[in-house]
Amino acid sequence: MKFTNNHRIILLYSTVFMLVSLNTVYLPIWLNETINLDVKQIGFLIAAAGLLKVFSNYFINKNIRTFRDRKLIAIVITFFLLISFILISVLKSLDFILIIILSFLILIIFSPILPLVENITTSLNKNFYKTYGKLRISGSIAFCLAVFIVGFILDQFGTNVLPLLYIIFALFFLLSIYLVPSKEKRKKNIAKSNVSELLTDKIFILVLFSCSIILASHAMYYSFSAIYWREYNINLFQVGFLWFWGVLAEIIFFIFIDKVKIKNIFFKAIILVAFITSLRWVLTFLFTNFFILIAIQSLHAFTFGLTHYLVIYYIYKKISYNNQLLALSLYHALSSGIIMTMLTILAGFSFNYHLNGLGFVVMAVFSFFSIILIYFRGYILKNERS
């Protein structure tokens, strides 16, 4: 069987989201239970790294113009991750401060990987509108399985084995990067990206901010949900299952999204996901029963799946090719960087003062702000066409 670009896309999405599963779900638990950081310290560590992601995303990705450059950067970053976790695994007596510094750098350095992978896959995809969702589910499935399996492994052997799992997953990602072609047949003589062109596009900025706020409102969920649920006697296997269920809903969404004509309902869709996101966080605050949480987690299909798709759709359809990687970098820098940093700090405070998950209500309020942004876009954009 011929190894096609679709196979490369599937492998890239699968392996990178295996790594993402460790960063988002289990790294905070590892920092808490193995490194003995308290929740407030974890919050500041993640928040500080999130703020610096803006600079790492921009400065690493802004001058990349070829597939060869993208491969090289991805390989260098992955080797750094490998070396960091090998040191943590092999040197058992590694200084506490050095482990914190390495963890901090891991969070920063990993950030440019996602926009790089997203840009490579959309470039390799010959039919974005009909196949993006179907190909993107490979990442969701891999994330889903990784969260489920890793949760089981950590329950059995303890969180101290996380660095070893990170090494294994990073090696799989290196293989997928190696299989990416060094040259792209469809695009030649690509112009240098132009950040001023992006920043003066008012519609892009509006879409970017509104969707980034929605995605950043997942800060409480990403950084503290596992620790929060553990306080209510939900074990690691059940935590993994809750994440698994949320991503399963996302997978189902991506299967069917290619059949929807987003062009005709684009801004209405943003309002819809903002409302659903606010509802999700309020419900997560109100209920801690495992089975009710499973039902609430189904909303992840909209709060993440649809929101992410809307941003990628807009960038692919409206942004010039030479600016797409930079646009993706800005998107990730905002959604998982600046805005998520602020919300992660707020979420951390809610833990520090024992407010019983009140951070989820704060996330709901911020999500609702996106509804206001889009509803009043006519006033915001003024003479721009929406």
For residue range 270-291, what is the model confidence (pLDDT) as tens digits? Answer: 999 999 999 999 999 999 999 9
pLDDT digits 0-9 by tens, 97-108:
777 777 777 777
Cβ proximity of 362 and 343 under 8 Å: yes
Tell me whether residue 51 is in a domain: yes
The closest alpha carbon to 352, from 227, 169, 219, 248, belongs to 227
**Per the domain annotation, does 188 fall within a domain?**
no
pLDDT at 386: 43
The DSSP call for residue 180 is S
Q: How many CB atoms lie within 10 A of CB 380?
A: 18
Q: Give the model confidence (pLDDT) of 117-161 as tens digits.
A: 888 887 777 777 677 877 888 888 898 788 878 888 988 898 889
Q: What pLDDT is recorded for position 372?
A: 93
SS (H, E, C) 87-117: HHHHCCCCCHHHHHHHHHHHHHHHCCHHHHH
Domain assignment present for 203: yes
* Position 86 in a domain: yes
Q: Number of structural domains, the chain?
A: 1
65: containing domain: 5-183+193-381
**Cβ atoms of residues 224 and 29 within 8 Å:** no
C-alpha distances in Å from residue 152, one per residue of 29, 147, 244, 270 = 14, 9, 12, 36
Q: Is 320 among the domain residues?
A: yes
- 163-193 confidence digits (pLDDT tens): 899 899 999 999 998 888 776 555 554 556 6
- 145 domain-assigned: yes
The size of the chain, in residues, is 386
CATH number at 352 reads 1.20.1250.20
- Domain presence at residue 386: no
Query: What is the CB neighbour count within 10 angstroms for residue 200?
Result: 10
Provide the percentage of residues in the chain whose pLDDT is more than 90.
Answer: 25
